[in-house]
């Protein structure tokens, strides 16, 4: 099952999973967390791949990093806020 199919299946089962428009190719799968209300699912993205997608779309590497740090890592949109895997080989 692809990561997108995994998200769609959980959504069909009634789980709320927020996704990031434009970063479908960076979707790695679903992260399962245990919180006060029980089990919660979040879409999990590769931060490195998100940067690569933005660079391919015309942003500079530094612009992509700044945008993603401020607008994705710094954003909270509720319990289903997507998660980002911070690849260790990403230069900063």
Compute the mean pLDDT over every residue in the chain, rounded to the nearest whole number.
88
Which whole-number Å values give the CA distances from 49 to 23, 28, 54, 65, 75, in the listed order? 8, 10, 9, 11, 18
Quick one: how many helices (H) and strands (E) in the chain? 3, 3
Q: Which of 59-63, 73-77, 88-92 has the highest mean pLDDT?
A: 59-63
pLDDT-derived band at 91, boundaries 50, 70, 90: low
Portion of the chain with pLDDT greater than 90, in percent: 45
Q: In sequence order, what E strands does 1-92 have?
A: 27-35, 38-46, 83-85
Q: What is the pTM of this model?
A: 0.84
What is residue 8's predicted lDDT score, i.e. its pLDDT? Answer: 86
Q: Report, as an integer, the average pLDDT of 25-41.
A: 87
Whose tokens are 């996704």? That residue is 19
């Amino acid at each position: 099952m692809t990561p997108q199919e995994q998200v769609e299946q959980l959504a069909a089962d009634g789980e709320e999973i927020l996704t990031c428009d434009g970063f479908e190719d960076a979707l790695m799968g679903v992260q399962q967390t245990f919180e006060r209300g029980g089990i919660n699912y979040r879409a999990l993205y590769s931060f490195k791949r998100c940067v690569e997608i933005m660079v391919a779309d015309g942003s500079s590497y530094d612009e992509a990093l700044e945008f993603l740090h401020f607008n994705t890592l710094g954003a909270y949109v509720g319990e289903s806020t997507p998660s980002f895997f911070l690849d260790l080989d990403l230069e900063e």
